[in-house]
Amino acid sequence: MEKVRTRFAPSPTGYLHIGGLRTALYGYLFAKKQGGDFILRIEDTDTARYVDGSVQIIYDTMRDSGVMYDEGPDVGGNYGPYVQSERKNIYKEYAEKLVELGGAYYCFCSPERIAGLKDESGNVRYDKHCLKLSKEEIAEKIKNGEPYVIRQNVPLEGTGTYTDLVYGEISVDYKDIEDGILIKSDGMPTYNFANVVDDYLMGITHVIRGTEYLSSTPKYNLMYDAYGWRRPVYIHLPPIMKDAQHKLSKRNGDASYEDFVKKGYVKESIVNYIALLGWSPKSNVEKMSLNDLIENFSLDGISKSPSIFDEVKMKWLSGEYIKEMTFEEFKEKALPFLKESKVYGKYNEDKLLSLVKGRVQIYSEIAEKLDFLAEFGAFDTALFENQKQKASAQVAKKILPKIKEKLAGIDAWENSNLFSALVELSAELDIKKQAVLWIARVAITGKESTPGGATEIAELLGKEETLARLDFAFDLVK
């Protein structure tokens, strides 16, 4: 069987947004599932939209997210160059060939003449004026250095039909397609031409891209047919929406992969979540590694309808990844975020991190989760009130000295020892265990809620500070 070859063909117009990465990911998953190749091609022919640095962002994002290509500008391959601006001569040669085949023609019309072709609604539709030029006239004009473009010669009648693997049969009447420009006057190809030539020359078997190209595909097929090339298989992907009305788009500044990484999302969870935007696995399992995704990916799971980007769900997924990480893994990723916290450097970093692991969904929540440790001072003793546990300021007044005494006797200052001591105390005092733990925790934190229980926090604070805080809290209630 022929080897599957898919490609991701971004234009370097800024950062790589979520929709772009989703297209790349599906191309990657589809190829990998079938032992095929995944190619990166940079489509930089629209120089006006070119943004410096964005090619590097594309390379970095793809490497970092694991959606790695087998061939591309920076890794090489047998079908290069993989940057369109370096393929100018190739397009020229193929455009001339298409002219000979009758699929395209030279057009010398001035911008003024074109502007004069506006219809009632202001749309310009080229009238095939230059199609009439003879070979000799064309040669003469070119010799005289007259500027020209090459246009596609779209039939006036008939219908272009193809079957998209997601959207089914698509038909467009040729009368609705204009003779678009294939080669601009500066010799650069347009996307409409370059995508066809490159997909053919790079041996692309399956074209995977956004639905915005669904209705222009018949005009690309006209070119494949004119050259006598086999058309690729088309797989168009549903749009990703920000909400019911608005598309997620980089032009609107919607977040990119790297923004989410900076915000502290677990990288694997971003890729995992993106995979679910427009595709659902047969099983109900949603947490999937890149390898799981390759194994489970199939075209029949791709939906036709737009999907809404739900950051809350992505956050949840990120939290699931954090829960399942080993402590070492978590530490490695979380440390840069812990350094942002006010308490970094004051307490043992492993203890700080164990306090928050499993209690944050994204790394950037770490600092704020630990803030309570940095802010100890006078607090409202009404916080001791907990009806459910039958705790109150009165009870606190009674037992705080006893808690202190009990803990003061412990030398191996560890959560489990501290916990046993407080359980023992609750039995001695005949007070519910939860009430003792509640009072101890409020006393040493001054907060109604905190990540971690009393003894976990006490271990982190250390003996001296814990006892000092118990004294301080006792002074507030007595």
Binding residues for ligand GLU, rule: CB under 6 A, are 9-11, 43, 191, 195, 209, 213
Between CA 207 and CA 21 the distance in angstroms is 15
- What gap in Å lies between CA 390 and CA 380, rounded to an integer? 18
With contact defined as beta carbons under 8 Å apart, do 234 and 271 qualify? no
Options 92, 128, 141, 250, the catalytic residue: 250
For residues 431-446, one letter each, b for 16 or more C-beta atoms within 10 angstroms of the residue's C-beta and e for the rest, the string is beeebbbbbbbbbbbb
CB of 458 to ligand GLU, least distance (A): 56
* Shortest spacing between CB 9 and ligand GLU, in angstroms: 4
- Distance between CA atoms of residues 124 and 361, nearest Å: 52
Tell the smallest beta-carbon distance from residue 191 to ligand GLU (Å): 6
Instruction: Tell me whether residue 209 or residue 404 sits nearer to ligand GLU (CB atom).
Output: 209
Name the residue with the smallest CB distance to ligand GLU. 209
In angstroms, give the least distance from the CB of 290 to ligand GLU. Answer: 21
CA distances from 77 to 41, 57, 85, 119, 280 (A): 11, 20, 17, 47, 33
8 A C-beta contact, residue 222 and residue 22: no
- Rounded to a whole number of angstroms, the minimum distance from the CB of residue 29 to ligand GLU is 16
Other CB atoms within 10 Å distance of the CB of residue 251: 9
Assess whether 323 carries a catalytic annotation: no
Q: Which residues of 385-410 are buried (b: 16+ CB within 10 A; e: fewer)?
A: bbeebebbbebbbebbeebbebbeee
Q: Please give the Cα distance from 118 to 116 (Å, whole number).
A: 6
Q: Are 366 and 360 a contacting pair, CB within 8 Å?
A: yes
Question: 209 or 441: whose CB is closer to ligand GLU?
Answer: 209
Catalytic residues: 250
